[in-house]
Amino acid sequence: MRKSYIMPGFKPTLGFTLAYLGLIVLIPLSTLFFKSLELGVEDFFNIITQKRVVASFRVSFTTSLIAASVASFFGFIIAWAFVRYSFPGKRLFDALIDLPFALPTAVAGIVLATIYQPNGLIGQWLMQGFGVQVAYKPLGIVVALIFISLPFVVRTVEPVLQEFDSSMEEAAASLGATRLQVFIKIIFPNLLPALLTGFALAFARGIGEYGSVIFIAGNLPYVSEIVPLMIVTKLEQYDIPGATAIALTMLVISFLMLLVINLLQLWVRKRSGQL
């Protein structure tokens, strides 16, 4: 008896998926891995444990985590406002959220560096009023990463909020629950998986971001130098093995951190009964 599939065209779609993963993902990553094998173990660890390289890893991952956390917090608030409230100019603000998707990252970096530098429009006010310097510091990197990662959180949480069953809120309220209790016990647990997904996307985008960061970071060694810039510097010096070693280390660390986030997301979904 011939088997029938619920989804027509299963074999062609599966073949296309495997071909895509092989050509676009697996082959480039395996090339990076095999290229790094040309280095001995000692040479590999000598490269990735250099003080300047370690400092760049610390800057990249710390700023990406901070930016993803801030973007998740404010992205949740923005998504909540777009879904739950109506206000003048809502469509305009909704369109502006997607602007970082279309804006070239280099242009975003130049604009942010211009307004946040010590004599810039916002940077001057921060410097004189609070003594805070944004540009050419790790704080500038965080600002740039928040700018480019915020839409990921908003667009991830927004559809879940739109599909949320408001009858659960009404039932809890009819049983005497306060608004805060409804949010903590009902709304937030159902939104947490989507929020974790948005955080993971923002974090992944922040780690590999280059164009919008180099203009505002100042690229000072041990202070505001990021890993992608270290890789580009190695390539400009024709140090292909060094660039490969740094890239592979960054890939492994990023994969492990994203894996932990995805496992946490899966655990939250099972706990909330969504799986």
C-alpha atoms less than 13 angstroms from C-alpha of 35 in its C-beta half-sphere: 17
Domains (range + CATH), the chain: 39-272 (1.10.3720.10)
- pTM for the structure as a whole: 0.85
Three-state secondary structure call for residue 60: helix
Distance CA 67, CA 46 (A): 30
H helices present in the chain, as ranges: 10-20, 27-36, 41-48, 51-84, 90-97, 99-102, 105-116, 121-130, 138-163, 166-174, 179-182, 188-208, 211-217, 227-236, 240-272
Between 5 and 123, the higher pLDDT residue: 123
Cβ-contact 144, 210 below 8 angstroms = no
Buried b (16+ CB within 10 A) or exposed e, 237-260: eeeeebbbbbbbbbbeebeebeee
The region of weakest confidence among 21-35, 84-98, 166-180 is 21-35
pLDDT tens-digit series, residues 90-139: 888 888 888 888 888 888 888 898 899 888 888 888 888 888 888 888 99
Distance CA 240, CA 47 (A): 12
Distance CA 177, CA 171 (A): 9
What is the reported pLDDT for 5?
Answer: 52
- pLDDT band at residue 66 under the 50/70/90 scheme: very high
